[in-house]
Structure 1
Protein backbone atom coordinates (compact mmCIF):
# COMPACT_ATOMS: atom_id res chain seq x y z
CA UNK A 1 0.00 0.00 0.00
CA UNK A 2 1.35 3.39 -0.99
CA UNK A 3 1.33 6.26 1.47
CA UNK A 4 -0.04 9.48 0.09
CA UNK A 5 2.35 12.28 0.92
CA UNK A 6 1.10 15.65 2.08
CA UNK A 7 2.34 18.52 -0.04
CA UNK A 8 5.64 19.86 1.22
CA UNK A 9 5.24 22.67 3.70
CA UNK A 10 5.33 25.96 1.85
CA UNK A 11 4.25 24.41 -1.47
CA UNK A 12 1.38 26.50 -2.86
CA UNK A 13 -1.93 24.72 -3.40
CA UNK A 14 -2.29 26.63 -6.66
CA UNK A 15 0.69 26.61 -9.02
CA UNK A 16 1.91 30.03 -10.14
CA UNK A 17 0.89 31.39 -13.54
CA UNK A 18 3.21 32.51 -16.35
CA UNK A 19 2.40 36.18 -15.70
CA UNK A 20 5.57 37.38 -17.45
CA UNK A 21 4.77 35.62 -20.74
CA UNK A 22 3.81 37.95 -23.62
CA UNK A 23 0.55 35.99 -24.21
CA UNK A 24 -0.57 36.04 -20.55
CA UNK A 25 -2.76 39.17 -20.75
CA UNK A 26 -4.45 37.98 -23.95
CA UNK A 27 -5.18 34.59 -22.35
CA UNK A 28 -6.67 36.18 -19.22
CA UNK A 29 -8.77 38.50 -21.41
CA UNK A 30 -10.03 35.45 -23.35
CA UNK A 31 -10.89 33.70 -20.06
CA UNK A 32 -12.88 36.79 -19.09
CA UNK A 33 -15.20 36.16 -22.07
CA UNK A 34 -16.43 32.88 -20.51
CA UNK A 35 -19.29 33.06 -18.02
CA UNK A 36 -20.87 30.57 -15.66
CA UNK A 37 -24.47 30.53 -16.97
CA UNK A 38 -25.85 30.87 -13.42
CA UNK A 39 -23.64 33.77 -12.29
CA UNK A 40 -23.40 37.09 -14.21
CA UNK A 41 -19.62 37.37 -13.71
CA UNK A 42 -16.85 35.97 -15.90
CA UNK A 43 -15.00 32.89 -14.67
CA UNK A 44 -11.65 34.68 -14.36
CA UNK A 45 -12.97 37.30 -11.94
CA UNK A 46 -14.93 34.61 -10.10
CA UNK A 47 -11.56 33.03 -9.31
CA UNK A 48 -12.27 29.80 -11.17
CA UNK A 49 -9.03 30.01 -13.18
CA UNK A 50 -6.29 28.81 -10.86
CA UNK A 51 -3.24 28.62 -13.12
CA UNK A 52 -2.35 29.78 -16.62
CA UNK A 53 0.94 28.20 -17.60
CA UNK A 54 2.38 29.15 -20.98
CA UNK A 55 5.44 27.35 -22.33
CA UNK A 56 8.19 28.91 -24.42
CA UNK A 57 6.51 27.22 -27.42
CA UNK A 58 3.23 29.06 -26.60
CA UNK A 59 1.46 25.94 -25.37
CA UNK A 60 -1.14 27.02 -22.82
CA UNK A 61 -2.14 24.86 -19.86
CA UNK A 62 -5.01 26.15 -17.77
CA UNK A 63 -6.01 24.64 -14.44
CA UNK A 64 -9.48 25.65 -13.34
CA UNK A 65 -12.26 24.70 -10.99
CA UNK A 66 -15.99 25.26 -10.73
CA UNK A 67 -18.09 26.77 -7.98
CA UNK A 68 -19.32 23.28 -7.01
CA UNK A 69 -18.62 19.70 -8.14
CA UNK A 70 -22.29 19.30 -9.10
CA UNK A 71 -22.18 22.31 -11.43
CA UNK A 72 -24.45 21.49 -14.39
CA UNK A 73 -21.87 22.75 -16.91
CA UNK A 74 -18.94 20.81 -15.41
CA UNK A 75 -18.46 18.82 -18.60
CA UNK A 76 -18.76 21.84 -20.86
CA UNK A 77 -16.89 24.71 -19.22
CA UNK A 78 -13.30 23.48 -19.84
CA UNK A 79 -14.19 23.27 -23.55
CA UNK A 80 -15.61 26.80 -23.48
CA UNK A 81 -12.33 28.04 -22.00
CA UNK A 82 -10.27 26.17 -24.61
CA UNK A 83 -12.51 27.56 -27.39
CA UNK A 84 -11.95 31.11 -26.08
CA UNK A 85 -8.15 30.80 -25.84
CA UNK A 86 -7.30 28.64 -28.88
CA UNK A 87 -8.00 31.30 -31.56
CA UNK A 88 -5.58 33.79 -29.98
CA UNK A 89 -2.76 34.82 -32.24
CA UNK A 90 0.38 32.91 -31.30
CA UNK A 91 -1.26 30.19 -29.19
CA UNK A 92 0.00 26.80 -30.34
CA UNK A 93 -2.11 24.47 -28.19
CA UNK A 94 -4.52 24.70 -25.23
CA UNK A 95 -5.06 22.14 -22.49
CA UNK A 96 -7.67 22.85 -19.82
CA UNK A 97 -7.69 20.68 -16.71
CA UNK A 98 -10.40 20.67 -14.05
CA UNK A 99 -9.42 20.36 -10.40
CA UNK A 100 -11.27 20.36 -7.10
CA UNK A 101 -8.22 21.15 -4.95
CA UNK A 102 -8.26 23.55 -3.38
CA UNK A 103 -12.03 23.92 -3.34
CA UNK A 104 -13.31 27.22 -4.71
CA UNK A 105 -14.46 29.78 -2.18
CA UNK A 106 -16.01 33.21 -2.41
CA UNK A 107 -12.75 34.69 -1.13
CA UNK A 108 -11.20 33.80 -4.52
CA UNK A 109 -13.35 36.34 -6.36
CA UNK A 110 -11.87 39.62 -7.54
CA UNK A 111 -13.11 42.86 -6.00
CA UNK A 112 -14.90 43.55 -9.29
CA UNK A 113 -16.81 40.26 -9.02
CA UNK A 114 -17.75 40.90 -5.39
CA UNK A 115 -19.00 44.36 -6.31
CA UNK A 116 -20.99 43.02 -9.28
CA UNK A 117 -22.64 40.38 -7.08
CA UNK A 118 -23.37 42.83 -4.26
CA UNK A 119 -20.88 41.43 -1.74
CA UNK A 120 -19.10 44.80 -1.30
Structure 2
Protein backbone atom coordinates (compact mmCIF):
# COMPACT_ATOMS: atom_id res chain seq x y z
CA UNK A 1 0.00 0.00 0.00
CA UNK A 2 1.29 3.45 -0.88
CA UNK A 3 2.25 5.80 1.89
CA UNK A 4 0.03 8.78 2.49
CA UNK A 5 2.83 11.07 1.35
CA UNK A 6 2.95 9.31 -2.03
CA UNK A 7 -0.84 9.39 -2.31
CA UNK A 8 -0.92 13.06 -1.36
CA UNK A 9 1.84 14.00 -3.77
CA UNK A 10 0.03 12.14 -6.56
CA UNK A 11 -3.17 14.07 -5.79
CA UNK A 12 -1.25 17.35 -5.83
CA UNK A 13 -0.02 16.73 -9.37
CA UNK A 14 -3.54 17.78 -10.38
CA UNK A 15 -3.12 21.21 -8.77
CA UNK A 16 -1.91 23.47 -11.57
CA UNK A 17 -0.27 26.85 -11.08
CA UNK A 18 -2.59 29.02 -13.20
CA UNK A 19 0.21 31.39 -14.22
CA UNK A 20 2.71 28.77 -15.28
CA UNK A 21 0.44 25.89 -16.33
CA UNK A 22 2.55 23.36 -14.41
CA UNK A 23 1.55 21.33 -11.35
CA UNK A 24 2.79 22.34 -7.90
CA UNK A 25 4.70 19.07 -7.42
CA UNK A 26 6.54 19.44 -10.73
CA UNK A 27 7.40 23.02 -9.81
CA UNK A 28 9.04 21.73 -6.63
CA UNK A 29 6.77 23.74 -4.36
CA UNK A 30 5.64 20.81 -2.19
CA UNK A 31 8.12 19.74 0.51
CA UNK A 32 6.01 17.31 2.54
CA UNK A 33 2.52 15.89 3.01
CA UNK A 34 1.48 14.23 6.28
CA UNK A 35 -1.67 12.79 7.81
CA UNK A 36 -2.06 12.10 11.54
CA UNK A 37 -4.31 9.56 13.25
CA UNK A 38 -7.06 12.19 13.65
CA UNK A 39 -7.31 12.85 9.91
CA UNK A 40 -5.37 16.12 10.06
CA UNK A 41 -3.37 16.67 6.87
CA UNK A 42 -0.48 19.15 6.71
CA UNK A 43 1.00 20.19 3.38
CA UNK A 44 4.38 21.85 3.78
CA UNK A 45 5.19 24.00 0.79
CA UNK A 46 6.83 27.13 -0.48
CA UNK A 47 6.15 29.58 -3.29
CA UNK A 48 8.36 30.82 -6.08
CA UNK A 49 8.37 34.27 -4.45
CA UNK A 50 7.06 36.04 -1.37
CA UNK A 51 3.89 37.97 -2.05
CA UNK A 52 2.81 35.61 -4.82
CA UNK A 53 -0.63 36.84 -5.96
CA UNK A 54 -1.81 33.25 -6.39
CA UNK A 55 -1.20 32.17 -2.78
CA UNK A 56 -4.91 31.92 -1.92
CA UNK A 57 -5.81 30.21 -5.20
CA UNK A 58 -3.12 27.57 -4.73
CA UNK A 59 -4.02 27.06 -1.06
CA UNK A 60 -7.69 26.54 -1.95
CA UNK A 61 -6.85 24.10 -4.75
CA UNK A 62 -4.40 22.18 -2.56
CA UNK A 63 -6.94 21.97 0.28
CA UNK A 64 -9.62 20.70 -2.11
CA UNK A 65 -7.28 18.05 -3.54
CA UNK A 66 -6.32 16.79 -0.08
CA UNK A 67 -9.89 16.77 1.23
CA UNK A 68 -10.82 14.33 -1.54
CA UNK A 69 -8.43 11.72 -0.13
CA UNK A 70 -9.71 8.95 2.18
CA UNK A 71 -9.13 9.63 5.86
CA UNK A 72 -8.53 13.37 5.51
CA UNK A 73 -10.73 15.43 7.83
CA UNK A 74 -8.88 18.77 7.96
CA UNK A 75 -6.09 20.36 5.93
CA UNK A 76 -3.52 22.97 6.89
CA UNK A 77 -0.96 24.56 4.62
CA UNK A 78 2.43 25.11 6.27
CA UNK A 79 4.04 27.82 4.12
CA UNK A 80 7.83 27.90 4.58
CA UNK A 81 10.66 29.88 3.04
CA UNK A 82 13.51 27.56 3.99
CA UNK A 83 14.86 25.86 2.09
CA UNK A 84 14.33 28.54 -0.49
CA UNK A 85 12.74 27.57 -3.79
CA UNK A 86 14.91 27.61 -6.90
CA UNK A 87 14.63 26.35 -10.45
CA UNK A 88 16.74 23.36 -9.38
CA UNK A 89 13.71 22.06 -7.41
CA UNK A 90 11.64 21.71 -10.60
CA UNK A 91 11.17 18.34 -12.28
CA UNK A 92 12.73 17.73 -15.67
CA UNK A 93 9.25 17.68 -17.22
CA UNK A 94 8.41 21.07 -15.66
CA UNK A 95 11.66 22.55 -16.93
CA UNK A 96 10.97 21.28 -20.44
CA UNK A 97 7.40 22.61 -20.33
CA UNK A 98 8.63 26.05 -19.28
CA UNK A 99 11.68 26.04 -21.55
CA UNK A 100 14.12 26.36 -18.64
List gaps (5 residues or longer) in structure 2.
Answer: none
Pick one of 25, 43, 52 that aligns with 1:44: 25
Corresponding residue of 2:36:
55
TM-score by length of 1: 0.72
TM-score by length of 2: 0.84
* Displacement after TM superposition at 1:80 (Å): 1.6
Corresponding residue of 2:56:
75
- CA–CA distance in structure 2, aligned partners of residues 27 and 89 of structure 1: 10
How many residue pairs match? The answer is 100
Q: Which runs of 4+ in 1 moved over 6 A?
A: none
Structure holding more helix per residue? 2
List gaps (5 residues or longer) in structure 1.
Answer: 1-19
CA RMSD of aligned residues (A): 1.9
Higher relative contact order (CA 8 A, sep 6+): 2
